[in-house]
Structure 1
């Protein structure tokens, strides 16, 4: 199996984006309908650890070892963090809605109509998000197969809590369980489209790969620091706090193990390439 073979890289991208788009939706549906209150907090902690570990131990080192100048990469990281801040700001304003008794005069069934519109808005936004995730996964696989696997795992982990939220929004908007699952699955397939297009767009311009990796890292860091970790900053019993730290640690350890394996194999490959044959 040649990990550098372009056809194998494309197959890996398709399989990883399928897993990211459909597996996360299926797991989110299962959590929503069965063990939601038991597992979501642990998933948030695990996701935060995986995202931070993947960004800081895998993705950013790969980008900075590419030979690109550090200053533009740091500028890209800063721009990425600001970009995701603005995107989330726009989403907050877009999804703000009125409540009954707010003094506004609306026709009958206005709330149910608005809820339905909000459901479709969430689906559109999630599709765009999944499409971008697909491009990120493609860039990671093009840079290194092991990095692609680590990036896909991190994306799947952080997609699950998000898909849980999306599923709840759709159910509250009046979607049936089957319809919510079907629409979420279609939205998840946007990741496959992003991955395939990303492969054909990024591969001819591989000099862009380090910058795309930095943008991916900025996404992971922003989601972890701005969205996930604040959910954990609550006064809890010591057992729950210990559980949070343990799951956060599991995410970091998993990312560190991937980083260690990647570094070992990269070093072995460099030693093999530089070894001079003896006659």
Structure 2
């Protein structure tokens, strides 16, 4: 596959991923947030774990990485994303007394249980959310580019997994922006502008990683670490807020569907390859 075709795929995945996730999140946030968000979160967990363990890590091994170096890369990545989260750069803020979320955690916000206080905070939370999202989207662009540079099929699966977890995150971010005093139109525009960072990250990674093929397996390892960390540290704790048997069964089914969709995508793309 030619370099221009790969670049076009990276551009398309970055643009579609950002726009679709923002628009879908906007629809959910304003139309059916109370009932849809928990479903989206459970599905996103499955999609993230499926992409990490069924596609990205195996592909990194096939690209020449040893088991020891890949294990170390994933371990380093998990620690790295923990530190970034602590610095309010990776996934905003999760403290019990967090300014960006009032007195509620991100999981409570995105799970549909709480939507902040009635008063506004004069845009402070909204600014933090926008900065954090921009950095997050930039990293997503790098991950998409690294996947496409390794294998077209892997790129598609990675893009789908990123979109799947972006939607529930964007829903929570919309609600925080509204709480911060922004209008619905301003919230959509801010998130769309932030999504441009995905395109920037993808293009930069294409030109930099394209000349450094030996680095790609380790970028894939970091991609897997980011997906595992987001699923296990950020999203799964929110599911434990619903310990009822029927809720647990629903979550298991939806997580399985998320994993299954990644597996099915892998099989279908493999048949088409």
What is the TM-score when the length of structure 1 is the normalising length? 0.85
Decide which of 76, 79, 82 is 1:79's aligned counterpart. Answer: 76
1:251 equivalenced with 2:258 (yes/no)? yes
- The answer to whether the 8 Å contact 1:115/1:172 transfers is no
Decide which of 2, 7, 17 is 1:5's aligned counterpart. Answer: 2
> 5+ unaligned residues in a row in structure 1: which ranges?
101-110, 267-279
Decide which of 198, 202, 206 is 1:195's aligned counterpart. Answer: 202
1:127 equivalenced with 2:129 (yes/no)? no
**Deviation, structure 1 residue 93:** 7.8
Equivalent position of 2:115 in the other structure: none
Equivalent position of 2:98 in the other structure: 96
SS in 2 for 1:175: coil
Equivalent position of 1:51 in the other structure: 48
Select the structure of larger CA radius of gyration. 1
Equivalent position of 2:114 in the other structure: none
- The answer to whether the 8 Å contact 1:136/1:216 transfers is yes
Decide which of 158, 161, 164 is 2:168's aligned counterpart. Answer: 161
Equivalent position of 2:15 in the other structure: 18
Whole-angstrom distance in 2 between the partners of 1:165 and 1:96: 14
Whole-angstrom distance in 2 between the partners of 1:263 and 1:68: 22
**Deviation, structure 1 residue 97:** 3.0
SS in 2 for 1:123: helix
1:216 equivalenced with 2:227 (yes/no)? no
Alignment of 1:141-156 (within 5 A): 141-156=148-163
The count of corresponding residues between Structure 1 and Structure 2 is 252
**Deviation, structure 1 residue 234:** 3.1
What is the TM-score when the length of structure 2 is the normalising length? 0.86
**CA 1:117–1:61 in structure 2 vs 1: closer, same or farther (change >3 Å)?**
same
Structure 1, 69-78 or 17-26: larger mean CA deviation: 69-78
User: CA-atom RMSD, angstroms?
Assistant: 2.1
Whole-angstrom distance in 2 between the partners of 1:250 and 1:181: 29
SS in 1 for 2:140: helix
- The answer to whether the 8 Å contact 2:63/2:150 transfers is no
Whole-angstrom distance in 1 between the partners of 2:157 and 2:27: 24
- The answer to whether the 8 Å contact 1:81/1:218 transfers is yes
Equivalent position of 2:192 in the other structure: 185
- The answer to whether the 8 Å contact 2:25/2:170 transfers is yes
**Deviation, structure 1 residue 72:** 1.9
> 5+ unaligned residues in a row in structure 2: which ranges?
104-118
- The answer to whether the 8 Å contact 2:6/2:148 transfers is yes
- The answer to whether the 8 Å contact 2:153/2:270 transfers is no
